[in-house]
A and B are shown apart, each in its own frame.
Chain A
Amino acid sequence: MNRVGVVDEKTMNQRDAKPDGAKRRSDNKTVAFGDASAVRSLPLWSAISAILLLLTWWAVTRAWGYPEDFKATLESGLRDRQLFEQCQRADECDTGSYTQIVSPLTFPSVRDTWNAGLDLFSDGYRNVELWTHAWASLWRVLKGMFWGTLVGVPIGLSMGLSSRARGFFDSIVESFRPIPPLALLPLFTLTFGLGEKSAVPLLVFASIWIMIIAARAGIRNTKLSKVRAGYSLGASKRQLLTKVLLPNALPEIFTGLRVALGVSWGTLVAAELSGVQEGLGAMISIAKNFSRLDVIVVGIVIIAVLGVAMDLILRKLESILLPWQGKG
């Protein structure tokens, strides 16, 4: 007897029944381990990690168990660091009577950083507005990226289009690309001058190789059938470049921009550490001279936030300008 396809009632019921107590995944997948598409960033867990990070910071930098009567004798509104210093100096305050895992002389406490942040946002640091610092840094990055892209993209395109250009630029690109830009800072300082004068050329150096390689990859990844379709539809070489190759390379160039932005941002702050008056790196460097650890941490947080924000903006732009991205 042909039993294929016959399902008896028992197995039907089993199929429909959910296992007791087991929580079903919303996407109905039974196995997610190793399935990359089933793994996503759960926001709750991101929040938990952020809170854990803050809690750790707070716990290790907080002073536990200052004598209450000692605190009462001091004026209110003291920073943790001042409290720490006065406590050390005071006879009646024995340093063994409280515990602080990380001394405020090594890393600022949450409260100090928060206060410093509020101060910086309202009054700036040493008579320079916070926005002036941030804008000076941003402007340098924009200038460096602009020139890096303007020079790098045509070179990259030519490398993707001509064997001669490829041969000519290959040795240059491959030998300069692995050099960390900061290793060249001393040479740039001697050539272009201190601070501001060498910061922008350094950023051009940081971004140009990335843009060259991105543009070259964009051309090289063009499907042969698209190029042939263009030619057999009657396109000239120039038309093929502007109507087929360039649009095809745009997503890669945009990815290059994002990478270059990240690298430039990192390079810039380090380049600003000496010789410039304005910029987030300069602010950190000055704060270091005055041992203002709280200002340094605020500066670091601002750098991180701006870096993430710029990447998000570029990603948004990418989805607006290049909606076909990855759908070819």
Chain B
Amino acid sequence: MKPLSVQNLDMVYEVPNGAPVHALSNVSFELEAGRMLTLLGPSGCGKTTLLNIIAGFLAPTDGSVSLGGTEITGPGSDRGMVFQQGALFEWQSVSDNISFGPQMETPPPLWMRLLSPALLLLGGPISKIPPLQRFLFNQYKAQFQPQVDELLDIVGLQGFGDKQVYELSGGMQQRVALARCLANDPEMMLMDEPLGALDALTREKMQSLILNLWSETGKSIVLVTHSVEEALILGDVVFVMAPRPGRVEKIYELPFAKRALTEDPRDIKASAEFQEVKEEILGFIWEMEEEIMGREAS
């Protein structure tokens, strides 16, 4: 596992007919391998921009990001991404979604692709035609099955491999997204509000799942969230970010994530210690929001 290094990151968005937006200003930090970093802050503080730069979807205006000494210039399979709902490929089964990464790495042989243009839609509707599937697809796809089964087991979706994605509930879809991300065995996992669209109960279950994945795989995770509670319970390191220009305002190193692996997360959330930090951060964010409102009003 490799450490992540972010140096002097600057990001300026040019806005037509307006002042340029300073989304990030001089952000620098080092993240050791195997840490869980949560990014928290009011909207417009640049947390998603930071995540997108680490993922390689955006190039910073200035500064650099490197993973284990290699500079990041574009998206790659060493940094797995989990999005808010809706990023699964609904034309594929759960198994095919999970094995998407490995399938990209080991595409079917050329003769297979030439033989049937249907293979272009691998896992698509045409593979439902049984004889063709038996003849062509099974041989190729069988090689991914052990890994898919293992991942399904890890995220708690045993027996759901043949279901279509749209048949699953929101929480289950996010489990598939986690498994799909893990299938590539990435160095680190980047999560952009992965639980944002889930109901409170499912959300708590998924928080536990993410914590377990984190401790079992030992991967670094960077997670963006709106919820202070979620940031605190999941964050081994928590960055509280401030807007205009986007910057890391406060850094917390918290024990709650490690404790939640053995204790009941609900007890931790109810503890006085947790509440104290939560109130502090909430007060801080509230102040920032008031300041923004004041500035906009004047």
Residues of A within 8 A of B (CB): 223, 225-226, 228-236, 239, 242-244, 246-248, 250, 320-324, 327-328
Could you tell me if B87 and A223 are in contact, using CB atoms closer than 8 angstroms? yes
In the complex, the answer to whether A323 meets B125 with C-beta atoms within 8 Å is: yes
Within B47-93, the residues touching A (CB, 8 Å) are 55-57, 74-77, 79-81, 83-84, 86-92
* B104–A235 touching, CB < 8 Å: yes
Q: Which residues of A contact B190 (CB under 8 A)?
A: 232
Given A234-B104, A323-B125, A324-B90, is A228 in contact with B75 using a C-beta cutoff of 8 Å? yes
Contacts of A226 in B (CB 8 A): 86-87, 89
**Chain B 30-59 near chain A by CB (<8 Å), digits 1 or 0:** 000000000000000000000000011100
**Which residue of chain A is the closest to B177 with respect to CB atoms?**
A229
Decide if B122 touches A225 in the complex (CB within 8 Å). no
Q: How distant is the Cα of A250 from the Cα of B57 in the complex, in angstroms?
A: 26
One of B76, B92, B125 near A232 (C-beta < 8 A): B76
The answer to whether B77 and A233 have CB atoms under 8 Å apart is yes
Bound CA–CA A223/B79 (angstroms): 20
Report, nearest first, the 6 A-B pairs whose CB atoms are least far apart.
A234-B77, A327-B166, A225-B87, A231-B75, A232-B81, A233-B101
Give the number of A-B contacts (CB < 8 Å): 87
**A324 neighbours in B (Cβ, 8 Å):** 90-91, 164-166
A228/B55 in contact, CB under 8 A:
yes
Asked whether any CB of chain A lies closer than 8 Å to the CB of B267, the reply is: no
What residues of chain A lie closer than 8 Å to B100, measured between beta carbons?
230, 233, 235, 243
CB-based nearest A residue for B186: A232
B184 near A242 with CB under 8 A, answer: no
The reply to whether A321 and B81 form a contact with Cβ atoms under 8 Å apart is no
- Chain A residues near B125 (CB, 8 Å)? 320-323
* Closest B residue to A231 using CB positions: B75
- Asked if B120 is at the interface (CB within 8 A of a chain A CB), the reply is yes
Whether B107 sits at the interface, judged by CB under 8 Å, is yes
Residues of A within 8 A of B107 (CB): 239
When distances are taken between beta carbons in the complex, the residues of chain B under 8 Å from A327 are 90, 166
Contact of B247 with A by CB under 8 A: no
Decide yes or no whether B180 CB sits under 8 A from chain A.
yes
How distant is the Cα of A92 from the Cα of B166 in the complex, in angstroms?
76
Q: Is the pair B79, A247 in contact by a Cβ cutoff of 8 Å?
A: no
Q: Within B240-281, which residues are at the interface with A (CB < 8 Å)?
A: none
